[in-house]
Amino acid sequence: MAFKLILTACVFALARAQSVPSLVVPETGVSAFPFDLSQVSLSNSRWEDNQNRTLNYLKFVDVERLLYNFRATHKLSTKGAKANGGWDAPNFPFRSHAQGHYLTGWAHCYAVLRDPTCRDRATYFVAELAKCQANNAAAGFGAGYLSGFPESEFAALEAGKLSNGNVPYYALHKTMAGLLDVWRIMGDNKAKEVLLALAGWVDGRTAKLSSSDMQRMLGTEFGGMNDVLANVYQLTGDKRWLVLAQRFDHTAVFDPLASNQDRLNGLHANTQVPKWIGAAREYKATGNKRYLDIARNAWSMTVNAHTYAIGGNSQAEHFRPPNAISQYLKTDTAEQCNTYNMLKLTRDLWAVDPDRTEYFDFYERALLNHLLGAQNPADNHGHITYFTPLNPGGRRGVGPAWGGGTWSTDYDSFWCCQGTALETNTKLMDSIYWHKDSTLYVNLFISSVLNWTQRNVTIAQSTTYPVSGTTSLRVTGNGEFTMRIRIPAWTTGASISVNGQKVSIEVKPGSYATLQRAWKSGDTVTIQLPMTLKTVAANDDPSVAAVAYGPVILSGNYGSTSLSSTPTLALDSIRRSGNGGLAFTATAAGKSVNLGPFYEAHGFNYNVYWKVSGRLPAVI
Ligand SMILES: *[C@@H]1O[C@H](CO)[C@@H](O)[C@H](O)[C@H]1NC(C)=O
Ligand SMILES: *[C@@H]1O[C@H](CO)[C@@H](O)[C@H](O)[C@H]1NC(C)=O
Ligand SMILES: *[C@@H]1O[C@H](CO)[C@@H](O)[C@H](O)[C@H]1NC(C)=O
């Protein structure tokens, strides 16, 4: 045991020493910083359960199968591995789009747990990708090319002649993002080499295009090419990558956003959000405020006019007219990837404006009500749904192929949302705490331990939130610093005490409560955020609403009964049942129905949006 511990410590020291890169080009405009993933660990909770299930899959999945398309395309032996199905099948247009997410998932796993299996999988995979790249001359590809489909797809794209639904830069972006993470999170220099060679290939390919040909090509989904390349610029200091990143600025989408016009109706939603994340990154890389305007306007528009009560957006993958919510409560609402990307955008924008709690009010709403429950808790490999149905009597885990709520599988899905969920569920701790100098931000209420090495302090948060509205933070170590605690807009009567004594600081909903002290080991902060029932009306129809208790969207349990229309819920009939849990009863369409947290609505038909009548009870 002792030997093993020492060995782990050495490997850790070695990997760190090996050069986790730091930014050569500092960020403009950022005034709060995330902790390294290795500094925050989840404690026992539903959150950790989700992480464990996803990690089981990441450590189980056959790496040779994941390499199949890369090897076959680059004319190397596939080593007897079986080909995958779903979106990674050898004839699927944008096969090999998923693997970048596995790289990121393994890197997260290594960062959080120092898990050697995850580390070895990531480094092996990168080394095998390097071999594919090294065989380009023999395969007839340009130097640096790396993909699971041939380079000729890019020629077809440039000529506007893609006939098979391929989105080659979308797939390429994901490979690049995975390599970037293995480089920046694990310090793997091979990942850097492969990434820069691939970026060089992209530069060579796109430098030849006129700007109008380039813009026309950007009409096809291309992920966050501007984002990953701006990151490469900041990590290398080489302007070439900034110029290349900006070549992927999509004028037709950026121009209206810069002038705050909502032209999202009809656009494929998840094609857009990664570009906005790229805009936020380009702002941080250049200081050009127009990029920030684009990202902020896109965020406000999407959150305020295109988002369901659970924090997800889009129907059949597309944005609908502004505020059109009630007409689009279907089986294919709330694509999971979009929310994964909106959360990235949210944290990027909050870091620029860390006084604004609405960013983390949204973050909490979407993480809790959409993403947490999109994973199947009954599945040891943490499989997920692509959409989260919001139709009356919807159900997770059923539906036509990927077009409904059905669960992903080990080898026959590889949808975009399966990939992004590997990331989501391995970085659940990445936004709980933030810091700036001697200020600690507490943004989310999730049981966890922060090792604030910069100040020799650990903070242990323990809570059953959102089942209870109370959370406590125990400080170990001494020193003077300020805690800024998010007081969500939905609460009233919040209070904060230290070591059992209520403190008289401002605790206004929708603001940060500021607690400055010379902390001593053992000091414990207790935060109480009283929860009440609220309705969340559809923007386009005040008579249609979801019901929330504090941050939690409640849904009705309809067992195996199907609903042919939206039931009418008598708001004044809602009662809390039992002993302080999140179980409620109510009367809807004249019948009794049990209400519970939507994130736990698994294995039965549910209802989220109701026709509402009457008023909520004053006291619950
Ligand atoms: C998750 O896995 C870790 C390591 O195997 C284990 O210690 C922990 O108890 C698990 N957590 C839950 C909630 O099952
Ligand atoms: C915090 O991290 C530092 C540096 O990695 C380590 O030496 C220390 O033991 C950690 N503290 C706790 C309580 O985990
Ligand atoms: C943390 O502890 C180290 C070693 O004891 C000390 O040098 C350093 O000043 C401390 N840092 C802070 C912020 O207290």
Is any atom of ligand 1 closer than 6 Å to the C-beta of 48?
yes
Residue 451 beta carbon below 6 angstroms from any ligand 2 atom:
yes
Residue 620 has pLDDT above 80, yes or no: no
Confidence of residue 40 (pLDDT cuts 50, 70, 90): very high
Say whether pLDDT at 8 is over 90: no
Q: Does the pLDDT of residue 426 top 70, yes or no?
A: yes
**Domain co-membership, 418 together with 489:** no
Residue 277's closest CA among 194, 347, 375, 219? 347
pLDDT at residue 566 above 90? yes
Phi and psi at residue 387, to the nearest 5°: -105, 160
Q: Is residue 619 part of a domain?
A: no
- What pLDDT is stored for residue 7 in this prediction? 39
pLDDT tens per residue, range 369-379: 999 999 999 99
pLDDT at residue 1, as a whole number: 33
Q: Is residue 366 part of a domain?
A: yes
* Non-local CB neighbours of 292 within 8 Å, separated by 6+ positions: 29, 279, 280, 283, 352
Same domain, 221 and 358: no
Query: In whole numbers, what is the pLDDT of the chain averaged over residues?
Result: 95
Q: Tell which one of 5, 8, 451 to mutate to probe ligand 2, the residue whose CB is within 8 A of the most ligand atoms.
A: 451
The residue assigned the tokens 């902390």 is 519
In this structure, are residues 434 and 441 in contact, taking their beta carbons and an 8 Å threshold?
yes
Mean pLDDT of 523-537: 98
What residue ranges line ligand 3, CB within 6 angstroms? 455-456, 479
Residue 491 — very low, low, confident or very high, per pLDDT cuts 50/70/90?
Answer: very high
Both tokens of 303, joined, read 């959150």
CA–centroid distance, residue 49 to ligand 1 (Å) = 7
Is the pLDDT assigned to residue 145 strictly greater than 60? yes
450 in the same domain as 349: no
Binding site membership of 458 for ligand 2 (Cβ less than 6 Å): yes
Query: pLDDT band at residue 402, thresholds of 50, 70 and 90?
Result: low
Quick check: CB of 203 below 6 Å from ligand 1? no
380 lines ligand 1 (CB under 6 A): no
The residue whose C-alpha atom lies closest to atom 1 belonging to ligand 2 is: 451
What atom in ligand 3 is closest to the CA of residue 454? 13
Look at residue 9 in the predicted model and tell me its pLDDT.
Answer: 40
**87 has a pLDDT exceeding 50:** yes
The reply to whether 163 and 197 lie within a common domain is yes
Query: In this predicted structure, what is the pLDDT of residue 19?
Result: 82
Is residue 620, in this structure, part of any structural domain at all? no
pLDDT at position 165: 82
Q: Determine the pLDDT at residue 156.
A: 95
pLDDT at 12: 44
- pLDDT band at residue 88 using 50, 70 and 90 as cut-offs: very high
Q: Let me know whether 459 and 334 are in one domain.
A: no
Say if residue 10's pLDDT is above 80.
no
**What is d(CA 7, CA 3) in angstroms, rounded to the nearest whole number?**
6
Nearest ligand to residue 456 Cα: 3
**Total domains present in the chain:** 4
**497 lies in some domain:** yes
Residue 405 confidence (pLDDT): 66
Residue after which a domain boundary falls, among 248, 264, 291: 248
For residue 593, pLDDT beyond 80: yes
In the predicted structure, residue 364 carries a pLDDT above the cut 70: yes
Same domain? For 410 and 440 the reply is no
The three-state secondary structure class of 536 is strand
Query: Which atom of ligand 3 approaches the CA of 456 most closely?
Result: 1
Give whole-number Cα distances, 253 to 218, 275, 527, in Å.
10, 9, 42
Determine the distance separating the centroid of ligand 3 and the alpha carbon of 240, expressed in angstroms.
40
Ligand 2 near 453 CB (within 6 A) = yes
Q: What is the rounded distance in angstroms from the CA atom of residue 427 to the CA atom of residue 37? A: 7
- Kindly give, in sequence order, each residue whose CB lies less than 8 Å from that of residue 411, ignoring residues fewer than 6 positions away: 61, 62, 65, 82, 84, 85, 86
Residue 5 has pLDDT above 80, yes or no: no
Q: How confident is the model at residue 513 (pLDDT cuts 50, 70, 90)?
A: very high
Residue ending a domain, choose from 528, 544, 563: 528
CA of 451 to the centre of ligand 3 (A): 13
| Of residues 273, 377, 375, 385, the one with CA closest to residue 331 | 385
Q: pLDDT tens digit string along 288-320?
A: 999 999 999 999 999 999 999 999 999 999 999
Distance, CA of 449 to CA of 112 (rounded, Å): 12
The pLDDT of residue 61 is above 70: yes
Among 195, 221, 248, the domain boundary falls at 248
- What's the pLDDT score for residue 6? 38
Q: Is the pLDDT of residue 427 over 90?
A: yes
User: Percent of the chain having pLDDT more than 70?
Assistant: 96
Nearest Cα residue to 359 out of 256, 469, 495, 511: 511
Q: Whose CA is nearest to atom 5 of ligand 3?
A: 456
Between 12 and 387, name the one with better pLDDT.
387
Q: Judge if 492 and 548 occupy the same domain.
A: no
In-domain check, residue 584: yes
* pLDDT higher than threshold 60 for residue 479: yes
Check pLDDT > 70 for residue 4: no
Q: Above 70 in pLDDT, residue 367?
A: yes
pLDDT digits (tens, 9 = 90+) for 98-143: 999 999 999 999 999 999 999 999 999 999 999 999 999 999 999 9
Span 503-517, average pLDDT: 97
Name the pLDDT band for 18 (thresholds 50, 70, 90): low
For residue 452, is it within any domain? yes
Q: What angle do CA 228, 232, 236 make, to 5 degrees?
A: 175
Residue 237 sits in the same domain as residue 256:
no
Show the domain range for 478.
433-463+470-528
Residue 198 and residue 103: Cα distance in Å, rounded? 16
Task: Check which CATH number belongs to the domain holding 523 and give it.
Answer: 2.60.40.1180
119 and 234 part of one domain? yes
376 close to 407: Cβ distance less than 8 angstroms? yes
Pocket test for ligand 1, best of 45, 52, 59, 425 (most atoms within 8 A of CB): 52
Cα 93 from Cα 100, distance rounded (Å)? 16
Residue by residue, DSSP assigns 3-40 as HHHHHHHHHHHHHHHTT----SSPPSS---EEPPGGGE
Check if 38 has its Cβ closer than 6 Å to any atom of ligand 2: no
- Global confidence as pTM: 0.96
pLDDT tens string 166-217: 899 999 999 999 999 999 999 999 999 999 999 999 999 999 999 999 999 9
Q: Are residues 244 and 257 in the same domain?
A: no
Q: What is the C-alpha R_g of the chain?
A: 24
- Residue 419 included in any domain: yes
Structure confidence at residue 35 as a pLDDT band (50, 70, 90): very high
Over 80: is that where the pLDDT of 151 sits? yes
How confident is residue 398, by pLDDT bands cut at 50, 70 and 90?
confident
Residues 239 and 281 both lie in one domain: no
Same domain assignment for residues 168 and 285: no
Which of the listed residues 42, 43, 44, 51 should we mutate to test ligand 1's pocket, taking the one with most ligand atoms within 8 A of CB?
Answer: 44
Evaluate whether residue 618 is within a structural domain.
no
